[in-house]
Amino acid sequence: MIDASRYLFLACAVAGRRVAVHVSSGSETLASSDGQAILLPSTVLQDDAGDEQRTWKQVVAQAALIGAGSLQLQLLRRLVGRPDAARRYACLEVLRASRLLAARMPTAFLDLPELRHEHAPPQNAADSLSWALSRRPVPESPAYFGTVRPLMALRKAISEEGWSALTQQQARGEFQHKQPQRQFDDDDATEESALLRLFQNPFAAGNAMAELLNKILGAGTSKGGREKKAGEGAGAELPVGSIERALRRGVHAVLARLPFEVPDIDARGESAGLRYPEWDIHQKKYRPDWAMVEEVEAWRPEGARDLGEVLKPAGHELKRQLGSLGLDHQMHRRQQDGAELDVGRLLDAAIDLATGHSPPSLDVYRASRRTRRDLAIVVGLDISGSTGERSGAGVSVFDRQLQLAYRLGRTLNDLGDTVAMFGFHSWGRNLVRSVRLKGPEERWSACVAERFAQLEPVGYTRTGAAIRHGARMLRTDMRLPNRLLILITDGIAYDQDYETAYAQGDARKALEEARAAGTACVCICVGGSSDADQLRAVFGAANLLIVDEPQQVTTSIRRVCRQALGAVSQRRLQSSTARASR
């Protein structure tokens, strides 16, 4: 049995950024990727040791495609419904990528016979595409090159938009959550109307479904038109209608699956995620290893946003407020007064006196003062679709949350605390994503702002998993005595099979676990929340801060954090006293 997680570093190194590696549970025989995760065919699981060779080659080939920028949506669109062309494209791109990234690819891969071609590979991905769509011969593609699955990548983009539309509707309380009794079929004639009914909502800004269809099918039509006009490549030989049909069918198949299943790759099988339990309030017991969190790098297919206006550093006031948090005692040398003598300094003073100098001051003591920064902080940022909602002023809750997270992280880091930050969103329990914004060991740099600019509000919120993940980071990666988890959310704990009482019960349980382990937890809600009561019930009024604008946290953040930290240390004190008296 092959454990895909062991290829994680290999994949990340070749791709040049964080990617996940999964084994599919489907029937496909070729590896592929959606730009954030590499999906290996399930056949690798049955392979005996001799074929293990093939697994790493597949990982390297797919990672190279990611590293060389082969999975651009606008290019992949033209490969929808053309599996042969997709394979030709993948082959050409693997050849191109292995030249481009040769400096960091394994020699064993570059030495493979299939990689040794005298012909010059295409110059860029667009060249590969027109080559793949033309009748020009393409070198033979071995199975380990895998393929590109345009729909998998597109589906991700589409479905994220779709989900984001849904969560926005839910945020307004307009979505009736009903599990459909029947599954839609690819060729089902009624699917459109059924789906449309689901999406059609007089209050929704525009029509989510219509917008989606326009976007996707509109693109298909115009693409076809352009192809016809240009009259180049194999695309021109196909009737436009059939392209559209293929596209439409694929897209509908995807849309039909949209709200009710995990829209992304199947994350079952061996994978590199972390599993956390979840508390089932109805059964009054834990569901072990229930939610799977995978850590990914922030990545936006359309490129980074311009966040110059959003990510401004905070003023001095916030620094002043946060300055006194989590201080601990530290021994200081060369003090004017103190509990013990500083022997080295005392000798220096004696020498000064002996040589006829008078020491400027008798700083010959050692003293313990409360100066040591001893606080580890994890900021968890809700990046679910519901935060994309805009307020009256035209600034989205999402941007305000980004601003707050950035300011808090930056200020605490400047004060010398150990800070880690992550964004979280999810699509069901098997696909909770933790997007790394700043690692605990990492120095603050422009990279942090760049990652913020790659975030996009999509998906749902699985608060319990986010709390457990943040608490785990504090407990295992940072190991400082004072630990604080700051959750920035818009308050809607909502995910597939994760709602109302169940979600609240689980989040409350996750907080209890964290506090029992000595981690203080604080929740900040920007832009108000329709779920204030729910949040208060979960976090407790004392640990909750609801503000309209990021600047407003300045006045009360110290009080809230202090209280939370104080409650935890009180608890620690009590438990140690209880242990001692036993």
Nearest-approach distance from CB 382 to other proteins, in angstroms: 21
Q: Tell me the closest approach of the beta carbon of residue 67 to other proteins, in angstroms.
A: 8
- Determine the Cα–Cα distance for residues 35 and 156; give it in Å rounded to an integer: 9
Kindly state the smallest distance separating residue 176's Cβ from other proteins, in Å.
42
Closer residue to other proteins (CB): 119 or 443: 443
Q: Considering the complex, what minimum distance in angstroms separates the CB of residue 423 from other proteins?
A: 15
Question: Which pair of tokens denotes residue 322?
Answer: 């946060």
Shortest spacing between CB 314 and other proteins, in angstroms = 15
**Which lies closer to other proteins via its Cβ, residue 17 or residue 215?**
17
Alpha-helical runs (H) found in 142-239: 150-171, 191-199, 208-213, 219-230
Q: How far is CA 563 from CA 325, 467, 557, 566, in A?
A: 10, 19, 10, 5
- 10 vs 517, beta carbon nearer other proteins: 10
Rounded to the nearest whole angstrom, what is the least distance from the CB of residue 553 to other proteins in the complex? 22
In angstroms, the CA 377 to CA 507 distance is: 19
Angle at 439 between CA 434 and CA 444, to 5 degrees: 130
Choice between 364 and 458, CB closer to other proteins: 364
Angle at 369 between CA 364 and CA 375, to 5 degrees: 140
CA distances from 440 to 212, 375, 444, 457, 476 (A): 39, 12, 10, 24, 11
Q: Closest approach of Cβ 354 to other proteins, in Å?
A: 5
Q: Are 402 and 524 in contact (CB under 8 A)?
A: no
Task: List residues near other proteins by CB under 8 A.
Answer: 5-10, 12-18, 56, 60, 103-109, 333, 347-348, 350-351, 354-355, 357, 413-414, 416, 436, 439-444, 477
Tell me whether residue 83 or residue 416 sits nearer to other proteins (CB atom).
Answer: 416
Find, among 261, 182, 256, the residue nearest to 428 by Cα.
Answer: 261
In the bound state with other proteins, the residue whose beta carbon lies nearer, of 106 and 139, is 106
Instruction: Please spell the DSSP secondary structure of 489-523, one letter per residue.
Output: --S--BBTTB-HHHHHHHHHHHHHHHHHTTEEEEE
**Pair of tokens at residue 508:** 């409350």
Burial class (CB in 10 A: 0-12, 13-18, 19+), 72: middle
Nearer to other proteins, 333 or 562 (CB): 333
Q: Are 163 and 385 in contact (CB under 8 A)?
A: yes
Containing 215, the helix (H) or strand (E) segment is: none
Taking the complex as a whole, the smallest distance from the CB of residue 109 to other proteins amounts, in Å, to 8
DSSP 357: P
- Least CB distance to other proteins at residue 301 (A): 20
CB of 296 to other proteins, least distance (A): 12
Do 27 and 43 contact (CB within 8 A), yes or no?
Answer: no
The residue (of 159 and 411) whose beta carbon lies closer to other proteins is: 411
Q: Which is nearer to other proteins, 66 or 79 (CB)?
A: 66
Minimal distance, residue 60 CB to other proteins, in Å: 8
Query: Phi and psi at residue 520, in whole multiples of 5°?
Result: -80, 140
Residue 444: which of 479, 410, 494, 399 has the closest Cα? 410
> Across the strands, what pairs with 436?
297, 422
The helix/strand/coil state of 402 is: helix
Q: Which is nearer to other proteins, 105 or 364 (CB)?
A: 105
Q: How far is the CB of 380 from other proteins (least distance, A)?
A: 15
**Gap between the Cα atoms of 354 and 141, Å rounded:** 85
Beta-bridge partners for 222: none
**Residues forming beta bridges with residue 21, ordered by sequence position:** 38
Residue 108 or 196: the one with the smaller Cβ distance to other proteins is: 108
Q: How far is the CB of 13 from other proteins (least distance, A)?
A: 4
CB-wise, 48 or 140, nearer to other proteins? 48
Give, in order, the Cα–Cα distances in Å from 169 to each of 34, 166, 177, 392.
Answer: 27, 5, 11, 17
- Residue partners of 336: CB distance under 8 A and separation at least 6: 361, 362, 363, 365
Q: What is the dihedral of CA 69, 75, 80, 82, to 10 degrees?
A: -90
Cβ distance to other proteins smaller for residue 340 or 548: 340
Spatial contact of 19 and 296, defined as CB atoms under 8 Å apart: yes
- Residue number with CB closer to other proteins (434 or 489): 434
Instruction: Give the shortest CB-106-to-other proteins separation in angstroms.
Output: 5
